Structure 1
């Protein structure tokens, strides 16, 4: 009877080498290696997604600030030379956080998140950031716009409250081909129109509002220490009103000292909210009465509320930070309709006076009656 053969033993006759079949432990080891390698490759790919730049710009809801509150312990609005009153509500300016600009590239992961998010927008980088501009240049432009916006907000708010804000109206240049071209000069200081003194910018606007486009007006200016009268044929603005055809660099002399302090936020879109904050602090009536009201819009010296960018992201940021009410420029309504976050009521405004009335209506519990975008 032949001996029993141990299947794990090598041949005893010195025949060809024999290898035993793979054991379960070896198969398990190989599987572990494959899984480990796969995990490593996945981790590397995820790492690439996190840091790899993408040729897109992503705008998302940014932080909001209560203009009636503080920023890093400093009041956003400080007023000297007049009685101020403590408010109980909040007036929040809203912002957009963006990536894709010089020095702040969007990653692949950021772009994917932007595409998924309802409140973010992804655009080709060149649509938002001009080629050849550094981040310092962009920041400088944004800061200049913010500074101008704060000055315009101060003048508009004080004018809305009935203060006269004297201004030196200096001609910075003329529009080529206009009636003023070749007649008014850079450095001229406008003092009167058709014999009517214009000591404030609002006075200038009021006088021109009564002039028909195409009419000849007499512009009195100070030039080289002398008073000079210059006849100018007015042009026509897009809205149908008359214009002189000049660029004015006004220097304002407010009767009240208003200082606005805010860091790391640029652009002109907070103008309307700054103006409303100044009004709220200078009036004994508590307009907002505990309500959290957010809003946006540029502001002109004469109190016109203008359009801004990123309103969808700004509405989302407002809701996130507790606002139930939002003031939107009338000219942005086409971007508002169909994109209002749940729990937010949007009131459209076109002037500072209208925005002021909207805040008062919200404080009185009548916010639902305000006109909205439709």
Structure 2
């Protein structure tokens, strides 16, 4: 429009925006409410923790020491050692959260949607009355114990003579069932009249009682005593069991020196893979045929392989590390069936001999007859 001197432009009303449809308004409010709820849930405390795949360590390879140096995970002196090939990897589980800080509901929701993770009750991993530091100390003791039992199992398999005595190293607390009865340094001789072979054997004898009082014979300062202790339920490495409230170690008289160097890993579940690594180092040839093999499982001095916690997370951890083969305790088979990641073959083992037979089959390329969780 052209303006001439002395004229004013006509006033026009500003254009009005059409009102939002009711559905759009409702959707907008729903989004606002969802954001508010999400923010609130992020800060609300929960009663769960998350288990996820942890690091994988090659027992016949190297690991980083506490000083930051790369060292052989298994060192042997006093016997001839041999070159190895491939891997024999132990698998671990990482726990996200503790009593001081649990995961948010948002983190739990993401974990529920991830097949490689598990949401478990806080009490199952961090029992009430046990601090995070106490739990870490218990798991560290179990790791040391598992290394000794693995060494005993491996050397026994190779024909060496090893002696064993089960000793109390500490009490788990002032309110532990054994408090005031057992002391550090006590040597456990029998449980319910049966000679105790090693720490794992004592744990099994306690479990078999289902919570009933256990008659313990022990030796202190050269004097033998017999007492009764009533176990209480607790958690060790994520597994609920009957406990008398002591940490134990099995002292062996080894004819050769075996040192396992692995920091920041606790619990007993690496025992079987330690034993296989020791045997591989002490025998000619590649026990695994040069293949990448992973596994998990506790082990006793007489070669029995036991179930562990977090098996599904360990399967995914092995797959992600590149393993094609996995040795799983037969006791974990119910948790394995239907949850094996693509590209991973899993064999069930009950003993060290079973694990060695599985490695022989993998090495020879003939695994058809090896037991799996699906075949029982």
Give the alignment's TM-score, normalised by structure 2. Answer: 0.69
Aligned residue number for residue 96 of structure 1: 93
Work out the number of aligned pairs and report it: 298
Q: 1: distance between equivalents of 2:341 and 2:316?
A: 6
Aligned residue number for residue 160 of structure 1: 157
Say whether the 8 Å CA contact 1:189–1:223 is kept in structure 2: no
Aligned residue number for residue 80 of structure 2: 83
Mapping for residues 1-374 of structure 1, pairs under 5 Å: 6-8=9-11, 21=14, 53-72=45-64, 73-168=70-165, 250-374=250-374
Aligned residue number for residue 193 of structure 1: none
Q: 2: distance between equivalents of 1:222 and 1:136?
A: 30
- Per the alignment, do residues 82 and 7 of structure 1 end up closer, same or farther by CA in structure 2, a change over 3 Å counting? same
- Per the alignment, do residues 222 and 329 of structure 1 end up closer, same or farther by CA in structure 2, a change over 3 Å counting? closer
Q: 2: distance between equivalents of 1:312 and 1:281?
A: 29
Q: 2: distance between equivalents of 1:54 and 1:83?
A: 53
Give the alignment's TM-score, normalised by structure 1. Answer: 0.69
Say whether the 8 Å CA contact 2:99–2:122 is kept in structure 1: no
Say whether the 8 Å CA contact 2:83–2:285 is kept in structure 1: no
3-state SS of 1:367 partner: coil
- Per the alignment, do residues 371 and 97 of structure 1 end up closer, same or farther by CA in structure 2, a change over 3 Å counting? same
3-state SS of 1:279 partner: helix
Aligned residue number for residue 234 of structure 2: none
Say whether the 8 Å CA contact 2:49–2:98 is kept in structure 1: yes
Q: 2: distance between equivalents of 1:222 and 1:6?
A: 110
- Per the alignment, do residues 45 and 263 of structure 1 end up closer, same or farther by CA in structure 2, a change over 3 Å counting? farther
- Per the alignment, do residues 84 and 139 of structure 1 end up closer, same or farther by CA in structure 2, a change over 3 Å counting? same
**1:100 offset after TM fit, Å?**
2.8
Give the gaps of 5 or more residues in structure 2: 1-5, 20-29, 65-69, 170-185, 202-217, 225-246
Q: 2: distance between equivalents of 1:104 and 1:66?
A: 31
**1:5 offset after TM fit, Å?**
7.7
- Per the alignment, do residues 187 and 318 of structure 1 end up closer, same or farther by CA in structure 2, a change over 3 Å counting? closer
- Per the alignment, do residues 171 and 297 of structure 1 end up closer, same or farther by CA in structure 2, a change over 3 Å counting? closer
Name the larger-Rg structure.
Answer: 1
Q: 2: distance between equivalents of 1:171 and 1:123?
A: 31
Say whether the 8 Å CA contact 1:56–1:123 is kept in structure 2: yes
Q: 1: distance between equivalents of 2:35 and 2:168?
A: 62
Q: 1: distance between equivalents of 2:188 and 2:44?
A: 55
Per-residue Cα deviation, 1:121-169 (whole angstroms, up to 9, x for no partner): 1123223321232110110011011110000000010001100113457
- Per the alignment, do residues 282 and 62 of structure 1 end up closer, same or farther by CA in structure 2, a change over 3 Å counting? same
3-state SS of 2:76 partner: strand
3-state SS of 1:54 partner: coil
- Per the alignment, do residues 201 and 339 of structure 1 end up closer, same or farther by CA in structure 2, a change over 3 Å counting? same
- Per the alignment, do residues 43 and 171 of structure 1 end up closer, same or farther by CA in structure 2, a change over 3 Å counting? closer
Q: 1: distance between equivalents of 2:188 and 2:299?
A: 26
Q: 2: distance between equivalents of 1:364 and 1:100?
A: 43
- Per the alignment, do residues 146 and 62 of structure 1 end up closer, same or farther by CA in structure 2, a change over 3 Å counting? same
Per-residue Cα deviation, 1:92-130 (whole angstroms, up to 9, x for no partner): 101111123234421233211111111211123223321
Stretches of 4+ aligned residues off by more than 4 angstroms: 3-7, 38-53, 168-172, 186-190, 221-226, 247-250
**1:353 offset after TM fit, Å?**
1.4
Q: 2: distance between equivalents of 1:74 and 1:46?
A: 46
Say whether the 8 Å CA contact 1:155–1:254 is kept in structure 2: yes
Say whether the 8 Å CA contact 2:116–2:316 is kept in structure 1: yes
